[in-house]
Structure 1
Amino acid sequence: MYRARMGHVARMMWLLAALLLLPALACAKGADTRNAVLVVGDSLSAAHNIPAASGWVNLLQQRVNQQLKPPPAVINASISGETTAGALTRLPALLEKHRPSVVVIELGGNDALRGLTPAQLRGNLEKMIVASQKAGARVLLLGIDVPPNYGPAYRDRLRQAYAGLASQYKVPLLPFLLEGVALKPGLMQSDGLHPTAAAQPQVLDNVWPLLKPLLKAPAP
């Protein structure tokens, strides 16, 4: 009984030591936590219903590991079902904790599903952009589109909301995150809203040309 108990204690001490070493091991791989990229999004960035490792944000970490030395740490703060209002509430703590050099904002789809007006969406996104820039971060805005049944007027106002923010605050804008993915067989899940694992490299390729310059540019 005594030996068994001591053996259990030893295993627990070894596990604790291993857990304490995890941050050091992450730093040893070269991730630059002082130059982080913070992704604040919804299910499109949270690897909804696919393995987390195959999501475009995880693929982004792999790409910067290969192309940038030292590579920035990519922090995925995306939550399935997230709205602009919810993300706006969470953002101050995220900025304080991670002090990112780049903030990628990918939000709006759930606002539309809940019937929020483009003006409400724009107001929340504007506050997120301003807060990020005041914290010293560069911002990349990723736009979304909605199905045709929302009507052309709503879709136009939605596009104008993103475009107006990008122009006013001089931030790069990807008008539609799922360009080249939406409506394509095999690249969208059965719900018609979320990309499959096979689509994630294309999603990253959509984001990368706008994000890459921000990783090297001097902070504002």
Structure 2
Amino acid sequence: MRRQVTPEARARVERIARALAGLLDEVPAVGAADEGARPPPGRARAPVCPRCAGEMGTVGAGQGVEIDQCLACGAIWLDVGELEALVAEHAPPPGAPPPTMAELRDRMREVNTPEGLVKYRDCPRCGQVMRRRNFGTISGVVIDECGRPGVLLDPGELQAIEAFVQLGGPALAEQFRREQERRQVPPPPREADSGSEPWVGTVASAADNLWDVLFRGS
């Protein structure tokens, strides 16, 4: 059964509607206040710097890579694959001999900024703790890396990595890895001398000695 609206109730509703009319005109639509802060369609929001929590913005592009850099401390964020694309142009010509390990270390001491207190930082994309990795195994440039999202470079680290690649460091690092793998491979078993007793006889002698100890009390 439909409830009948009395004249008094109708008048009360009209008074409330008139009182709220001015207030509703001043309330912005949901999401309208931050519409300008939203990134354009198809582009992710700029990350927050994991180093100092400052604002990061796109400061340039090269090799098809957009570089996000902290406007406060200068740290650089590169999405996965972008670091390799940036340093590829610094590779030495094919066939160029790599430096010696001593030459590489001396040069990297000149271009690599000494690291201060070690800190593990959160990925600005996924929030997980990033791992620390020595770029190229022997460069001495320790970068913060998160598997799929990308890498964070402290100020000066991009230039140090470029110098490492330009010196031929990756080729020297490959030689270093092969040498380490060769040292870790166990040597082949030594072959028995032709005049020595067969292995079967050796095993049988050991079995006899064990029998004597257990059952004969010798």
Interval containing the TM-score (normalised by the shorter chain): under 0.3
TM-score (norm 2): 0.23
Q: Which has the larger radius of gyration?
A: 2
More helix by share: 1
Greater relative contact order, per chain length (Cα 8 Å cut-off, separation 6+):
1
TM-score, structure 1 normalization: 0.22
